[in-house]
Amino acid sequence: MATTIWWIRRDLRLGDNQALAAARAGGDRVLPVFVLDPRLLAAARDGRRRLGFLFAGLRALDADLRRCGNRLLVRRGDPARVLSGLVAESGAGAVYAEADHSPYARRRDARVAQAVPLTLAGGLTVHPLEAVRKADSSPYTVFTPYSRAWRALPFPGVPLPAPEHLPGPAGLPGEGLPSSPGHALADLFPAGEAEAHRRLEAFVRTAIDDYHDTRNRMDLAGTSVLSPYLRFGMISALQAVWAARQAGGQGAEAWLNELIWREFYVSILHHFPHVQRESFHPGLRGIVWREAPGEFADWTAGRTGYPVVDAAMRQLLATGWMHNRARMIAASFLVKDLLVDWRRGEQFFRQHLLDGDLAANHGGWQWTAGTGTDAAPYYRVFNPVLQGRKFDPQGDYVHRWVPELAGVPGEFLHEPWCMSVEQQKQFHCMIGKDYPAPIVDHALARRRALEAYRAGVGR
């Protein structure tokens, strides 16, 4: 009777799990293990909310496993030591895990592979990273040709079904499942595979057809809000792509494109790990950023005086999630208007986002900062007023997150400082008292950013 170990990292699901499938093929008893790696726990001490979501996900996975006649074993410690100990205790012949491409994960897995027989399986992305590359086998650094090559690959097929029975070895001692100190959002983002599929189905049923037109509207529920679930593999990328393919149409194509962006950034971080520390383009490392401690604090707290930016940051603080358009607007404001190093914004986002992930977060921030692969050109500066008018036309998004502006009518909502003192009184919102005055003048800030970038590029 052979036992195999399924080492769970960011694939908290039973359905469409290639590592689990490989573990089942390798033995008739599967031991599901999650290792609480002190190095990751320490790094995540400021990302407590995401850690809480992960822990809630572990409890959900354990419940699912128990329905299959198994259970989740949690142990704390260095993964190589924990796993080699478990191999000895259980007599397991092999360890299977889903490949993870972040620099730390690769170092860790290389170490683990020296201690135990480790086999990595695909699944984090739809297509294996090595499958999407140029004719000369070098990686793509521009999204459009990458996505063309991605789409040209044969579809990998139907997502694997979840096992109904998953026999495990006789009980081994483990830790209790960790509780979720920071996960106060259990009702907003219930963790687990079942919830991920509920969301996917609801999105496909009600919003995917309009996605092409509504995905940028911050005031509408036009997006899938699946990112935290994809982040921890409570749903697989293939399951999402499969659903898009079944749905078909312009909206599904636009959503598929976003999923391809996700894989593009996984690939970029894999092939160019330096992007987690500095700009992709060496020529753009000379930009002189401002320290601006006070303005940075205003940005993090959502008191910049620009309603869309403040709504975005407050949504993040309140929910652990932010609409993608809002992410771009808030990021552009920090990097261009405040001229603060994108890495500080990236770190703040990653601390607070439930979906916070090295690859996607760095990709997005470097895109905004204009320093990345296939990035927005440096002179593209978002105007928060125009972005607000365009993507929150009735101001519902701002009203939801910035209650001080409740009485301010639509024409002033995205630029409340334009109200006369009379109007401020009339609408019960005194600028500088009830709601902050803008901490920078956008027109001036824009010119300052262009100058700093020109100097940094060395033109």
Is 261 a residue of the active site? yes
Minimum CB distance to DNA smaller for 28 or for 213: 213
Tokens of 120: 């990595």
Q: Which residue type sits at 319?
A: T
- Number of residues assigned to the chain: 459
Is 47 or 356 the residue whose CB approaches DNA more closely? 356
Among 379, 407, 418, 432, binds DNA (CB under 7 A): 379
* Residue 451 C-beta: closest distance to DNA, Å: 8
Residue 111 vs 390, nearer CB to DNA: 390
CA–CA separation, 207 vs 326, rounded Å?
Answer: 19
107 binds DNA (CB under 7 A): no
Tokens representing 219 are: 């005031």
Note whether 383 binds DNA by CB under 7 A.
Answer: yes
In the complex, minimum distance from the CB of residue 299 to DNA, in angstroms, rounded to a whole number: 18
Smallest distance, DNA to C-beta of residue 346, A: 16
Q: Which of 317, 376, 430, 457 binds DNA (CB under 7 A)?
A: 376
**Alpha carbon distance 337, 299 (integer Å):** 11
Among 6, 143, 296, 306, binds DNA (CB under 7 A): 143
Provide the minimum distance between the beta carbon of 70 and DNA in the complex, in angstroms, as a whole number: 39
Whether 150 is a known active-site residue: answer no
Which of 382, 401, 427, 435 touches DNA (CB under 7 A)?
A: 382
Between CA 308 and CA 402 the distance in angstroms is 9
Of the candidates 43, 88, 110, 386, which one interacts with DNA according to CB under 7 A?
386
Asked if 151 touches DNA (CB under 7 A), the answer is no
Instruction: Tell me if 436 sits within 8 A of 303, measured CB to CB.
Output: yes
Closest by CA position to 240, among listed 261, 221, 219, 220: 261
Q: How far is the CB of 141 from DNA (least distance, A)?
A: 14
Q: Which of 116, 442, 452, 456 binds DNA (CB under 7 A)?
A: 442
Q: Return d(Cα 289, Cα 452) in angstroms, integer.
A: 8
Neighbours of 162 (CB within 10 A): 15
φ, ψ dihedrals at 209, nearest 5°: -65, -30
Smallest separation, CB 382 to DNA (Å): 5
Q: Which of residues 202-231 bind DNA (CB under 7 A)?
A: 216
Options 133, 446, 448, 457; binder of DNA; rule CB under 7 A? 446
What's 175's DSSP letter?
Answer: B
- 147 or 315: whose CB is closer to DNA? 147
Q: Is 7 designated active site?
A: no
Residue with tokens 């001229």: 339
Distance CA 448, CA 109 (A): 45
Which SS3 state, helix, strand or coil, does residue 402 take?
Answer: coil
> Residue 137 Cβ, how far from DNA at the closest point, in Å?
25
Q: Residue 387, interface with DNA (CB under 7 A)?
A: yes
Neighbours of 459 (CB within 10 A): 7
CA angle 416, 418, 421 (to 5 degrees): 90
Q: Which member of 150, 255, 299, 342 is catalytic?
A: 342
* First and final C-alpha spacing in the chain: 69
Q: Which is nearer to DNA, 141 or 180 (CB)?
A: 141
CB 15 within 8 A of CB 159: yes
- Closest to DNA by CB, 349 vs 382, is 382
328 lies in the binding site for DNA (CB under 7 A): yes
Structure tokens at 174: 């483990």
Kindly name the residue from 150, 365, 367, 401 that is annotated as catalytic: 365
Residue 236's closest CA among 167, 166, 157? 157
- Tell whether residue 254 is a contact of DNA (CB under 7 A): no
Please report, as ranges, the residues that interact with DNA according to CB under 7 A. Answer: 143, 216, 258, 261, 324-325, 328, 376-377, 379-383, 386-387, 390, 442-443, 446, 450, 454
Residues serving a catalytic function are 258, 261, 289, 324, 342, 365
